[in-house]
Chain A
Amino acid sequence: MRMITTVSERGRSVATFRYICVWMMETIARWTPITPEMEAKVMMGRHIWEYAQMADALGKRTFELRLPEQHSIAPVAAYEAFLKDIVKTSSTADKIAIFYDGVVPGIIARFKAYIAATDEILDEPSIVALQRAIVDLERQRIDAAQLQRELKLSSGVAPAAAEREKSIPEIVTVEKVAA
């Protein structure tokens, strides 16, 4: 990833990450009432709140980066289509696998790439918010793996989703400049 040097780029990246955190919150919330397994519901209920906190922290940061507070920017069309397809996943086993093994690792990688590419002093608040999100996301993957073992959930859908996620190199849209 190339270095991120302007406030505008930081703002657009953080607002895009916020969009993804809100998407994670809404997706897991959407799946909760249609998932029959009690253990899965309990895990999802906990994670909904964690995604809300991630989005909130990033949304406070967008204001510091000269955008409105709690501002989100949709990612590039290919990534948005990818996220929309994930929501359609049907069984509990596929949902847990595609989300926590297919999508979340890619999001963690994008957050880490941003941290490596931005200025550690000038953009420290973004880094702190993303580092906290990474800790939660990595722990959630452990939660999901434990659930998969407990409920004997088996699914092969994650690798294809992870590959599709990786095939989209850049998710932040380019700022339109008025002619």
Chain B
Amino acid sequence: MNIEEIGFYKVAEFILREPPARDECFKVVSRDADAHEYGNFSEIARREMIHRHMANEMTSVDMAAVCVAEFPDAPWGLRMELARQAWEESRHVPALYRRVKE
């Protein structure tokens, strides 16, 4: 798969990118309404909440990386910020993963 093969889709007037690649173990949904809600603070509900947060961080890594890759003519200072964001978001993933395991 090439990065160019990640397509686009439209929601109302917005053109959005198709989801990035994910491990097969994940069930991917695009809207909060499609995510499972337990509606309480039980252990499984908290686990789901942290897991969802972790998935958001993983997607943020993908988004920052795509911006670095697909906008080579952006000002260098902006590219540096996006590269730093990729690092920041990738630090958040293991932090939440550790909490999921706890």
A residues engaging B (CB < 8 A)? Answer: 25-26, 28-38, 41-46, 48-53, 56, 59, 70, 90
Among residues of A, the one whose C-beta sits closest to the C-beta of B80 is: A52
Q: Which residues of B contact A41 (CB under 8 A)?
A: 58, 61-62, 90, 93
16 residue pairs from A and B, CB less than 8 Å apart: A25-B68, A25-B79, A26-B68, A32-B20, A32-B62, A33-B21, A34-B1, A34-B6, A38-B23, A41-B93, A42-B58, A44-B86, A45-B61, A48-B65, A48-B83, A59-B76
Q: Counting CB contacts under 8 A, is B3 at the interface?
A: yes
Complex Cα gap A152–B70 (Å): 30
- B83 pairs with A30, CB closer than 8 A: no
Q: Counting CB contacts under 8 A, is B84 at the interface?
A: yes
Complex Cα gap A115–B91 (Å): 33
Complex Cα gap A35–B20 (Å): 8
- B69 pairs with A36, CB closer than 8 A: no
Q: How many residues of B contact A (CB 8 A)?
A: 32
Measured CB to CB, the closest approach of chain B to A89, in angstroms, equals 11
Complex Cα gap A53–B83 (Å): 9
Complex Cα gap A42–B61 (Å): 8
Partner of B84, one of A32, A44, A52: A52
Q: Which residues of B contact A25 (CB under 8 A)?
A: 68, 79, 83
Complex Cα gap A26–B64 (Å): 11
B residues engaging A (CB < 8 A)? Answer: 1-3, 5-6, 20-24, 58, 61-62, 64-66, 68-69, 72, 76, 79-80, 83-84, 86-87, 89-91, 93-94, 97
Complex Cα gap A38–B22 (Å): 7
Complex Cα gap A28–B62 (Å): 11
- B90 pairs with A42, CB closer than 8 A: yes
Complex Cα gap A113–B69 (Å): 29
Q: Which residues of A contact B3 (CB under 8 A)?
A: 30-31, 33-34
Indicate whether A42 sits within 8 Å of B68 (C-beta atoms), given known contacts A34-B2, A48-B86, A52-B79: no
Indicate whether A49 sits within 8 Å of B87 (C-beta atoms), given known contacts A34-B21, A42-B61, A56-B80: yes
Complex Cα gap A170–B69 (Å): 27
Q: Which residues of B contact A48 (CB under 8 A)?
A: 64-65, 68, 83, 86-87
Indicate whether A26 sits within 8 Å of B72 (C-beta atoms), given known contacts A33-B65, A36-B22: yes
Complex Cα gap A10–B94 (Å): 41
Complex Cα gap A48–B94 (Å): 17
